[in-house]
Amino acid sequence: MLSRLLKRSSSIWITLYRRTMSQATNGSTDGKPETSQTCPDFSFGSSLSLESIRKVQEEFSKERNWDQYHSPRNILLAMIAEVGEVSECFQWKGEVKEGLPDWTLEEKTHLGEELSDVLIYLVRLADRCRIDLPSAVLRKVELNKQKYPASRVYGKSDKYTAYTNTE
């Protein structure tokens, strides 16, 4: 059943990714969108959950007998290496606009692959540390709401220490 889910999820991902990339490039043949278009609202195009990703990666690792190498430390170091690969995608590009309008389809695809590697390792790290990542994210958002109340920080980028001790 899981392998059917994986195949189905994979084909859904590919279809949605191609559709997203086609829309992002406005059907242009060079893989770049028209520069006059503004960046439309964005949302993820899949209902794939972090739990689904966790299960997929768990099965992937078990099929290869890699659990023995997946200590939290090793996963963290691998994730950091992948973050470095994400940064290489942006290196020497100067300021990059939202939606990556000046990037080719190939560059966007490569970035998506590198971001996926980071997410896979992040989810795997949470799994191996037994951290319920979705719950931790919701808790952290609530803590950030307290630390950065909208009424005090709206339109500001200061660190919370710049205003927490003032009334």
pTM over 0.75: no
The CA distance from 3 to 134, in Å, is: 24
| CATH number (domain holding residue 78) | 1.10.287.1080
Inside any domain, residue 67: yes
pLDDT, tens only, 113-129: 999 999 999 999 999 99
In this predicted structure, the answer to whether residue 9 has a pLDDT above a threshold of 70 is no
Give the residue-averaged pLDDT of 100-106: 96
The CA distance from 8 to 48, in Å, is: 11
Inside any domain, residue 28: no
Residue 103, CA atoms < 13 Å, CB-side half-sphere: 22
Domains of the chain: total: 1
CB 133 within 8 A of CB 123: yes
